Amino acid sequence: MDKSGTCPYTLPMTLRCIIADDEPPARDELAWLLSRQEGVELVDSVASATKAMESIHAHAPDVAFVDIHMPGKDGFHVLIEAAAMERPPLVVFVTAYDQYAVKAFEENAADYLLKPVSEERLIRTVERLRHKLREHGRPGEDLRRLLATLGLEPQAGPAPIAVERAGRIALLNPKEVFFLRLDGRRVMVHTQDAALPCAGPQTLDRLEERLTPRNFFRVNRAVLVNLGRIREFSPWFNGKYNLIMADHIGTEITVSRSRARSFKERLGLN
């Protein structure tokens, strides 16, 4: 309520929604469940984050149900890009991983749904969405404040890196990350003094695509480093380089021979 005692947002008779999920069966199931909710209209269903933003601009929905993991840009990209809008939709994350009850988004993302989505849970989510819209309106300024706390700007590049920490999900600003290393089938995210497993089924290839524009470089098959977190480096044998990272233990990492030339080019040394 504002100072005059009036609602800051006129709640529509129909809650207009879009779905963004790269898996057709998941889209169809959620669409069917939404069709069973009174006063809910599905205006679009798309398969990528890029298409989600196109749909948001085209349809101005009240709510976007967004899968977190999609090829290319992910669900966090939708949140970041939507924050640049004057009146972004509420965002509901949809995920198969229960660790994505992300604390950092408890006040700024409207909700989250676990796959397979239950109708009972969806009913509670729709009720919560209506309450948020009635009491607070669309969350444009809240989203922008959230991104500022994460050191990000709307439409300013990749989303924060989600890691598992103490049974919850932490969202790391890429600037906090020194390097990422493949350890078996998991990607470990190394900060100043910790090594945390990357949340969800992320691959180093996908992370490389997201983080290369943010000053990260793939130095070998298993390691992606933050170039701004290298303390020093020196030539090694067989045309390789040895990096010493600026973390608390001075981790040593090898730049493979095949990547050495590109590594020097990225540093402006060629």
179, pLDDT greater than 50: yes
Residue 210: CB partners within 8 Å, gap ≥ 6?
74, 158, 159
**Domain limits for position 108:** 15-149
* Same domain, residue pair 133 and 246: no
98: pLDDT confidence band, cut at 50, 70 and 90? low
Q: Where a domain ends, among 91, 115, 149? A: 149
Report yes or no on 77 lying in a domain.
Answer: yes
Look at residue 1 and tell me if it is in a domain. no
In a domain, 135, yes or no: yes
pLDDT at residue 255 greater than cutoff 90? yes
Point out the domain boundary residue: 149, 181, 210.
Answer: 149
Strands 230-235 and 241-245, sheet pairing = antiparallel
**For 203-237, how does the pLDDT look when each residue is reduced to its tens digit (9 = 90+)?**
898 888 778 777 899 999 999 999 999 999 999 88
Question: Is residue 245 a part of any domain in this protein?
Answer: yes
145 and 176 together in one domain: no
At 25, which CATH number? Answer: 3.40.50.2300
Percentage of residues in the chain having pLDDT higher than 90 = 43
The long-range contacts involving 111-115, CB below 8 angstroms and separated by at least 24 positions, are: 113/30, 113/65, 115/26
- Of 29, 23, 30, 28, the C-alpha closest to 201 is 23
Count the domains in the chain: 2
Give the DSSP H or E segment for 197: strand 195-197
pLDDT of 270 = 66
CA–CA distance, 185 with 146 (Å, rounded to integer): 31
CB count within 10 Å of CB 65 equals: 30
Q: CA separation (Å) from 129 to 14, 42, 167, 245, 265?
A: 12, 15, 26, 45, 49
- What integer is the mean pLDDT of 264-270? 83
Q: Which residues pair with 168 in a beta bridge?
A: 165
Query: What separation in angstroms does the CA of 90 have from each of 152, 175, 244, 260?
Result: 19, 27, 43, 45
In a domain, 166, yes or no: no
Q: Could you tell me the CATH number of the domain that includes residue 254?
A: 2.40.50.1020
More confident: 141 or 65: 65
Query: Is the domain of 108 the same as that of 204?
Result: no
The proportion of the chain whose per-residue pLDDT surpasses 70, expressed as a percent, equals 80
What are the pLDDT digits (tens) for 17-28? 999 999 999 999
Quick one: 130 and 28 in the same domain? yes
Amino acid in the structure at residue 53: M
Mean pLDDT of 78-88: 80
**Closest among 113, 222, 114, 202 to 160, alpha carbons compared:** 202
Pair (101, 206) in one structural domain: no
